[in-house]
Amino acid sequence: MPAPVKSRREEFRELMKLAIPIAIAQGGQALMGLVDTLVVGRAGTSALAAVGMANAIFFAVSGLGMGLMMGFDPLLSQAFGARNASRARALLWQGGWMALFAGTVMGGLVLVVPEVLPLLGYVREELSETRSYLYWRAPSMVPMLAFLMVRGYLQSAASTRPLVVATVAANVFNLGADILFVFGGSVLPEGFGPLRDIPAMGARGAALATFLCTLLQLAIILYAVRRLAIAGERPVRRPVWADLRQAARVGFPIGLHLAAEIGVFALAGALAFRLGPASMGAHQIAISFASVSFTIAVGIGNAGSVRVGWAVGARNTPQARMSGFVAFAGGAGFMALSALVFALFPHALSQLAGASAEVTPLVVPLLMVSAVFQVFDGVQGVGAGVLRGAGETRFTFLANMVGHYAIGLPLSLVLGFGLKLGLLGIWWGLCAGLISVAFALLWRFHRMSAGTLRPLEA
């Protein structure tokens, strides 16, 4: 007897039940980055440029580690889909070891990159604040990767409320910590005692606040995991190399995909940095706003990944296909609304970011370009999620390499520097890359789900 398939309306309702808290948690992560930008932007254009460059380095380096952690996502969701919760708990422990190993290596690399940049033509003195920021940000690599692992476990277990609680708590803490550490304790009213003696740390203060927020979020969701009772045998807590190798086989292409995607935006940031502090500041503001909308689309993609993974684990390919296409529609619909906001209120968003008079004329056109690629950005963000749930990770990497590096980056260089369009030309090149990746991922899921999808551990 064929396995039952939910109607579109039922599937959309189930997807949103899972996607809304995941999207809130995902968007909350980007919101903290946006708050960092808004606060640091008021400390000066040079500080904003330093944070923009440092974040580009941090996430370009961490992409591979993030991918290795996300390699556990389809294994977890398919284990829960097969009603094997004890296997999922065992994978959680292995993910903790992966976070420790990968995070230690990636954290070290983050500190090395700024020392190499002067060899590529960057002025060492201009990188001093960037190096200082990364010195305080590097220790957050291990807890950040651990957070991604535990988040994936809770998503697959459909226990999403702790993610929302952790996100809200971290954002409230981050706002206060950013103001305190960036501008110093002198901004506090009388009565705060020793806190008023904290010196102004500038860009470093934002990095310290982010590190503390990461620890807070991890502590909250670890507490939630401990409260989840799992029947079955006690999982092995030492490293199981077979499990780590299997997750690495799935996660390594994800890491390469993330490194490729983050890397092209990091390169765009580096190109903007070469155009001057005002261009880098405008790029950082625009990318921060675009990141908030994109991460919500990625949250919908993560929910789609879980839904597809559950169906694949239950060996119900028609349901997996339905779940994937409903997720595509949900992501595109949300991003269409986001595009309207960017297109209608670019000046208001620029003012909200506290852009200076020299930065504002550069920010507004970038937000208009962002409005153009919002829907395509949402489709490719959801596409990576639903393909991951089906166990397909290599094609996503290939699509990103071709779309961003064979199409997007060359166009950015031609338009930005060959045709002298500057920062705007760089962003139009990024737009072209995103459009091509979106069409490729949509086609791949359509092709895969037309056949039979099998669990990774079958």
Residue 356 φ/ψ region, left for φ over 0, alpha for ψ in the -120 to 50 degree band, beta for the rest: beta
Range of the domain at 393: 8-449
Position 94 pLDDT exceeds 70: yes
Residue 3 lies in a domain: no
Residue 454 lies in a domain: no
Position 57 pLDDT exceeds 70: yes
Residue 263 pLDDT grade (very low, low, confident, very high; cuts 50, 70, 90)? confident
Position 325 pLDDT exceeds 90: yes
Half-sphere exposure of 76 (CA within 13 A, CB side): 28
- Compute the mean pLDDT over every residue in the chain, rounded to the nearest whole number: 86
Our CA angle for 337, 338, 341, nearest 5°, is: 95
Number of domains in the chain: 1
Query: What does pTM read for this prediction?
Result: 0.79
Residue 412 lies in a domain: yes
Q: How far apart are alpha carbons 347 and 357 in whole angstroms? A: 12
Stronger pLDDT, 45 or 448, i.e. the higher one:
448
Q: How far apart are alpha carbons 35 and 353 in whole angstroms? A: 9
Amino acid 3: pLDDT? 64
Stronger pLDDT, 91 or 231, i.e. the higher one:
91
Position 289 pLDDT exceeds 80: yes
DSSP string, 118-175: GGGT--GGGGHHHHHHHHHHGGGHHHHHHHHHHHHHHHHTT--HHHHHHHHHHHHHHH
With CA atoms as reference, report the closest residue to 263 among 52, 63, 49.
Answer: 63
Residues 6+ apart with CB under 8 A from 107: 138, 139, 141, 142
Amino acid at 19: A
Residue 204 lies in a domain: yes
Residues 6+ apart with CB under 8 A from 303: 15, 18, 19, 22, 23, 155, 327, 385
Q: How far apart are alpha carbons 383 and 395 in whole angstroms? A: 11
Residues 6+ apart with CB under 8 A from 275: 422, 423
Q: What is the mean pLDDT of residues 80-85?
A: 86
Residue 457 lies in a domain: no
Q: What is the mean pLDDT of residues 302-307?
A: 92
- CB atoms under 10 Å from CB of 86, counted, come to 14
Position 49 pLDDT exceeds 80: no
Q: How far apart are alpha carbons 57 and 127 in whole angstroms? A: 12
Question: What distance, in Å, lies between the first and last C-alpha atoms of the chain?
Answer: 21
Amino acid 141: pLDDT? 93
pLDDT tens, residue by residue, 134-185 = 888 899 999 999 999 999 999 999 898 999 999 899 999 988 888 888 888 7
Residue 46 pLDDT grade (very low, low, confident, very high; cuts 50, 70, 90)? confident
Position 1 pLDDT exceeds 60: no
pLDDT tens, residue by residue, 206-235 = 889 989 999 999 999 999 998 887 766 677
Residue 12 lies in a domain: yes
Residue 434 pLDDT grade (very low, low, confident, very high; cuts 50, 70, 90)? very high
Amino acid 267: pLDDT? 82
Residue 458 pLDDT grade (very low, low, confident, very high; cuts 50, 70, 90)? low
Position 42 pLDDT exceeds 70: yes
Residue 424 lies in a domain: yes
Q: What torsion, rounded to 10 degrees, do the Cα atoms 48, 53, 58, 64 define?
A: 140
Residue 48 lies in a domain: yes
